[in-house]
């Protein structure tokens, strides 16, 4: 665990290629453009969609295929924003074309796929990073710093939820098992990754879930035991919207992260009497996805292939944890 945080830069030295044009691609591109990062091109399976996206964000080149995007010499790094089941193939194609990659979370469908993609990136000498953008936000750096500075004492537990009211249409990708739909990979990955970040990979994983008629997990709860017998719990749901807060409990104090904890949020450190010891409340423009972009650009400039804030092994371990949860709740994706 590390408290370091990249400082967003606006040099525009790295050319970004956006692979896919859905909601998360729009959110990321909005933050890239707003903070001076250079978006060189966009690729979609539909040339009309690519052109509309390019016009919206003032991107020079739009392609009606992913292959054309990956062949563009002006693209240095590809942001993979397709559904989970395509991540491994899309990232592999980008790496084979000599492009660095930032891959949306969940990084892949399972740990085996993740390991294969990272190994290819290392062989190619290219940056491969999971777009777990929450890790790169300023308030998360504050949380790590408070813990590392001993302010909380010994950490005993972590609790975080991610619940939203999402489409129940069986045709929606979230409800499609073939597209690796379900609450765990879309929502649960946030609290699971947070627990890994603060407490390390678990030594024991217990998962419970409810499946829909299409076979995807509508809601999932986890209880994980970490080293030193620290415990983390999480609940993720696609059918109920809750407070979406998080707390880390230590023997001397606790950290409370306001809603929505995985977005830029206010953090309060309270002692055992409930008195405020420290409070972090920094304004962040946009969604805050520019911080992961800044980290990627820093690493590319330094010739590094992984981020210390989201290492290859950490991404693989998160996928392995979710593999274990899926095995317990009975979710298996086609082709596994």
Domain residue ranges of the chain, discontinuous segments joined by +: 15-134+289-305, 151-283+318-329
Q: How far is CA 229 from CA 8, 13, 145, 260, 284, in A?
A: 37, 46, 22, 27, 35
Q: What rounded mean pLDDT belongs to the chain?
A: 95
Dihedral, CA of residue 9, residue 295, residue 179 and residue 39, to nearest 10: 30
Q: Which among 198, 207, 206, 254 is positioned nearest to 227, based on CA atoms?
A: 198
Is the model's pLDDT at 104 over the cut of 90? Answer: yes
Q: Which residues, other chains included, contact 293 with Cβ-Cβ below 8 Å and sequence gap of 6+?
A: 8, 16, 28, 31, 32, 35, 37, 102
Q: What is the DSSP string of 16-37?
A: EEEE--SHHHHHHHHHHHHTT-
Is the model's pLDDT at 275 over the cut of 60? Answer: yes
Supply angle C-alpha 290, 73, 118, rounded to 5.
60
Rounded to whole angstroms, the Cα distance separating 255 from 270 reads: 7
Rounded to whole angstroms, the Cα distance separating 38 from 300 reads: 14
Rounded to whole angstroms, the Cα distance separating 124 from 137 reads: 29
Mean pLDDT value of segment 92-106: 98
Q: Which among 311, 71, 198, 2 is positioned nearest to 19, based on CA atoms?
A: 71
CATH of 151-283+318-329, one of 3.30.360.10, 3.40.50.2300, 3.40.50.20, 3.30.460.10: 3.30.360.10
* CATH node for 15-134+289-305: 3.40.50.720
Where helices occur in the chain by DSSP H, the ranges are 23-34, 47-57, 66-71, 84-96, 111-124, 138-148, 183, 189-199, 290-302, 312-329
Rounded to whole angstroms, the Cα distance separating 46 from 51 reads: 9
Q: What is the pLDDT of residues 284-303, one digit of tens each?
A: 999 999 999 999 999 999 99
| Residue for token pair 């990321």 | 28
User: Same fold for the domain at 15-134+289-305 and the one at 151-283+318-329?
Assistant: no
User: What are 96's two structure tokens?
Assistant: 């084979």
Q: What is the pLDDT of residues 300-325, one digit of tens each?
A: 999 999 999 999 999 999 999 999 99
Is the model's pLDDT at 241 over the cut of 80? Answer: yes
Within a 13 Å sphere around the CA of 176, how many CA atoms are in the beta-carbon half? 9
Is the model's pLDDT at 4 over the cut of 80? Answer: no
């Amino acid at each position: 665990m590390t408290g370091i945080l990249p400082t967003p830069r606006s040099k525009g030295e790295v050319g970004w290629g956006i692979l896919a044009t859905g909601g998360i691609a729009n959110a990321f591109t909005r933050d890239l453009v707003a903070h001076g990062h250079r978006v060189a091109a966009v690729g979609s399976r539909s040339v009309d969609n690519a052109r509309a996206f390019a016009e919206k964000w003032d991107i020079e080149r739009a392609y009606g295929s992913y292959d054309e995007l990956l062949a563009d010499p002006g693209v240095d790094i590809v942001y993979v924003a397709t559904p989970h089941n395509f991540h491994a193939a899309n990232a592999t194609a980008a790496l084979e074309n000599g492009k660095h990659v930032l891959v949306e979370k969940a990084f892949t469908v399972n740990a085996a796929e993740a390991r294969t993609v990272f190994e290819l990136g290392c062989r190619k000498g290219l940056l491969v990073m999971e777009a777990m953008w929450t890790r790169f936000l300023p308030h998360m750096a504050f949380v790590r710093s408070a813990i590392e500075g001993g302010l909380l004492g010994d950490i005993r537990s972590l609790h975080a939820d991610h619940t939203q009211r999402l489409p129940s249409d069986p045709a929606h990708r979230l409800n499609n098992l073939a597209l690796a739909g379900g609450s765990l990979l879309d929502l649960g990955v946030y609290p699971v990754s947070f627990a890994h970040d603060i407490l390390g990979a678990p030594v024991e994983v217990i998962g419970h879930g409810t499946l829909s008629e299409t076979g995807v997990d509508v809601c999932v709860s986890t209880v994980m035991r970490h080293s030193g017998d620290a415990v983390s719990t999480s609940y993720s749901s696609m059918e109920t919207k809750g407070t979406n807060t998080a707390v880390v409990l230590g023997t001397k104090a606790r950290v409370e992260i306001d809603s929505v904890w995985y977005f830029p949020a206010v953090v309060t450190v309270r002692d055992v009497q409930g008195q405020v010891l420290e409070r972090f409340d920094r304004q962040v423009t946009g969604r805050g996805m520019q911080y992961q972009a800044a980290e990627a650009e820093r690493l590319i400039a330094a010739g590094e292939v992984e981020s210390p804030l989201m290492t290859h092994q950490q991404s693989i371990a998160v996928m392995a944890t979710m593999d274990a949860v899926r095995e317990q709740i009975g979710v298996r994706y086609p082709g596994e």
